[in-house]
Structure 1
């Protein structure tokens, strides 16, 4: 029953994640916290695997459909997100060893809630916010580092913050931001998975659950990308905003449950 439930959550999350650029982790992590009895470490690994798989499928599909990346932006953001992912995983590892599982979940969900509130406020005032067009390589690298750190530490794939930051800092449209967000997610989660492989954390996971999650993430990433390519910026933006509000309530529920 657990694997079936994981599969349903991951399918929904990766479809929505590929449509909106959220990656899916922002849905998987709080919902797994809500329904699963696994530790924060195991849930983080499952989320990372699903999001990483989805990002590969989505990026490949977008490239085949003719999407053209700004190589400079992608290069420096990706490099920053790799280092950010390493730092985020280090902080997460420290927290799991120093604090109880419930406290780790409270910290993660509290930070997620703060992030979501920021994004909702930005969405309401979007037309009043003056967007930038960053070109400085070091600053672009720092953006990637911060996004990668947040992505990996919170175990959410970073999508919500990524999309908003690409719109604010690079003046991208919504659909552009979703693709760049998924690229950032790919590299951040790659660094997390590599660190866990080296540390041997994979011994904690159930491989039957992993197989279900990976297969479903491939399907979800493919379906979500197909839908993304057919929707307008306005519709993608509306789906994104509704999801932010719904996830805020889930984060509050998780904090209450963990306490």
Structure 2
């Protein structure tokens, strides 16, 4: 009972922050849940998928309703790549779960996540600023989506920090613009995960009674986070993004030490 309440509280916080900054919520949820829950990697990944997918639907709908115009070619390329990457990441995760212990898988995920977060924090701080690319090539957006989808599903994080940072680094987008495209990318990669879950059909390991509450929380969090995103300027979103990235890095580092013991 206590753990279910913690899931709901953490999910609300994760979806508000995720839709506000474009992080997607999954990385926050995965990092914090690892900290208090003994659930398996696959169970945590399932809950994360439900929450992030729902939050993305709400956020993208509200952004579209507010008048944001997507670059269609970028959207098609990055979402198509994310779908394929989602399948690849899910395959790799399940293969690793079958061949290694729970603790070894979680340690590997945390190490990869920590290295990724530190790289992105350093690059965003000292890396060169790129001029905005108005018409990125379809091949580049496909490859970017493939990489982001694979990593996000394998780590069970939704992929938001990677999406936002790489969209800024490669295409020169503002943080606010990158956040919106990031949510679209996360949405597509989660579709692949959902199809995989439905195809396997092994629902006995999940607490399905918790799912409707997680969906409601994700709707509320996605709505509130998107409202804040539309009200804040890009500079404030950049500051919040940086603070959350540092905080997530510290929590991930704590998880690494915990799994190594």
TM-score, scaled to structure 2: 0.96
- The match for 2:41 is 40
- The match for 1:130 is 130
Partner Cα separation in structure 1 for residue 3 and residue 212 of structure 2: 13
- The match for 1:18 is 19
Q: How does 1:39-58 map to 2 (within 5 A)?
A: 39-58=40-59
**Partner SS state of residue 255, structure 2:** helix
Deviations 1:148-174 (A, max 9, x none): 001100000000010001111111111
Q: CA deviation at 1:131?
A: 4.8
Question: Are the aligned partners of 1:10 and 1:28 in contact in 2 as well (CA < 8 Å)?
Answer: yes
- The match for 1:205 is 206
Q: Which runs of 5+ in 1 are unaligned?
A: none
Q: How does 1:201-240 map to 2 (within 5 A)?
A: 201-240=202-241
**Partner SS state of residue 54, structure 2:** helix
**Partner SS state of residue 157, structure 2:** coil
**Partner SS state of residue 208, structure 1:** coil
Q: Which runs of 5+ in 2 are unaligned?
A: none
Runs of 4+ that moved beyond 3 A? 129-132
Q: CA deviation at 1:207?
A: 1.1
Deviations 1:222-257 (A, max 9, x none): 000001000010100000000111101111111111
- The match for 1:93 is 94
Partner Cα separation in structure 1 for residue 177 and residue 165 of structure 2: 11
**Inter-CA distance 200–121: structure 2 relative to 1 (3 Å threshold):** same
Partner Cα separation in structure 2 for residue 154 and residue 68 of structure 1: 30
TM-score, scaled to structure 1: 0.97
**Partner SS state of residue 210, structure 2:** helix
Partner Cα separation in structure 2 for residue 2 and residue 164 of structure 1: 32
Q: How does 1:1-259 map to 2 (within 5 A)?
A: 1-126=2-127, 128-131=128-131, 133=133, 135-259=136-260
Question: Are the aligned partners of 1:131 and 1:169 in contact in 2 as well (CA < 8 Å)?
Answer: no
**Partner SS state of residue 201, structure 1:** coil
The count of aligned residue pairs is: 258
Partner Cα separation in structure 2 for residue 104 and residue 132 of structure 1: 38
Pairwise CA RMSD of aligned residues? 1.1
Deviations 1:114-148 (A, max 9, x none): 1100111012114x343562622112101100010
**Inter-CA distance 131–92: structure 2 relative to 1 (3 Å threshold):** farther
Partner Cα separation in structure 1 for residue 198 and residue 255 of structure 2: 28
Partner Cα separation in structure 2 for residue 117 and residue 129 of structure 1: 18
Q: CA deviation at 1:205?
A: 0.6
**Partner SS state of residue 229, structure 1:** helix
Identify the range of structure 1 (75-84 vs 199-208) with the bigger mean alpha-carbon deviation. 199-208
Partner Cα separation in structure 2 for residue 160 and residue 169 of structure 1: 14
